[in-house]
Amino acid sequence: MNHPKRLLLSNLAWSQEVSAREPEFFADLARGQQPRILWIGCSDSRVPAERITNAQPGELFVHRNIANLYTSDDGNASSVIEYAVHALKVEHVVICGHHHCGGVRAALSPPSDALPVVNRRIAGLRDLAGRHRDELLAIEDFDARVDRFAELNVIEQVRLLRESPIVRSAPRPPQVHGWIFGLREGLLTQLTDMDEAREIADSLTETHAETHAVRDAA
């Protein structure tokens, strides 16, 4: 049996199982979505957001790309974030990287002539590696170096997203978190502080309210 056909048959079995267990499940899904979390993760097939968090359909709004990157000139990622923040009004954004990341590994390796689009995509990641050159080169084992850079990348993407106009202009900006998934253990680890994320979001909310109050008074 080929892989696409197996997926279709698996879907049929899943649909029948869910319908038997929860007859209203799919009718409820069709009524709309109200996810509280936007998940920005890597496209790697080993890190499916719903599977590793045991989330149900409707719980996560998901965007995935190579190396879980956010750049303001990426219309795909920006449109997802804008819709999640301003239309769905998610309360949290999780940027989740993972150890053994191929995109991160590529950024620490010579560019491949066979992958020109990927090379352009991870150019900023190569620049980030340069900024952390001393710390990374101090790690002798290359796999361990890749894993550490995957963590540094998540922290940088969190910083960029927190500073983005899309997030800062929201009436109630979401809290932005950075996590890493360990493939060896199957565990998620926080890389950024949750209290700090809440404080930043609350500060932006207050700034937004004050700005509108001044405009209304004028």
pLDDT at 213 over 60: no
Domains of the chain: 35-217 (3.40.1050.10)
Per annotation, catalytic residue among 63, 98, 121, 162: 98
> Which of 27, 178, 17, 28 shows the shortest CA–CA distance to 92?
178
Q: For residue 205, what pLDDT is reported? A: 79
Residue 63 catalytic? no
| Confidence (pLDDT) at 214 | 54
Kindly report the pTM of this predicted structure. 0.91
The helix/strand count (H/E) of the chain reads as: 11, 5
For the stretch 77-133, pLDDT in tens is 999 999 999 999 999 999 999 999 999 999 999 999 999 999 999 999 999 999 999
Distance CA 176, CA 91 (A): 9
Q: What are the tens digits of pLDDT across the range 42-74?
A: 999 999 999 999 999 999 999 999 999 999 999
What sign results for the dihedral spanned by CA atoms 52, 57, 58, 61? positive
Supply the pLDDT for residue 218: 60
* Residue 36 neighbours by CB under 8 Å, 6+ apart: 59, 90, 91, 92
96 is catalytic: no
Of these residues, 101, 145, 147, 148, which one is catalytic? 101
Catalytic residue selected from 6, 28, 36, 46: 46
> Mind listing the pLDDT tens digit for each residue in 114-127?
999 999 999 999 99
Indicate if 99 belongs to the active site. Answer: no
| Strand ranges (E), 24-160 | 37-42, 60-65, 92-98
Active site residue 100: no
- Confidence band for 197, pLDDT divided at 50, 70 and 90: confident
Check whether 195 has a pLDDT greater than 90: no
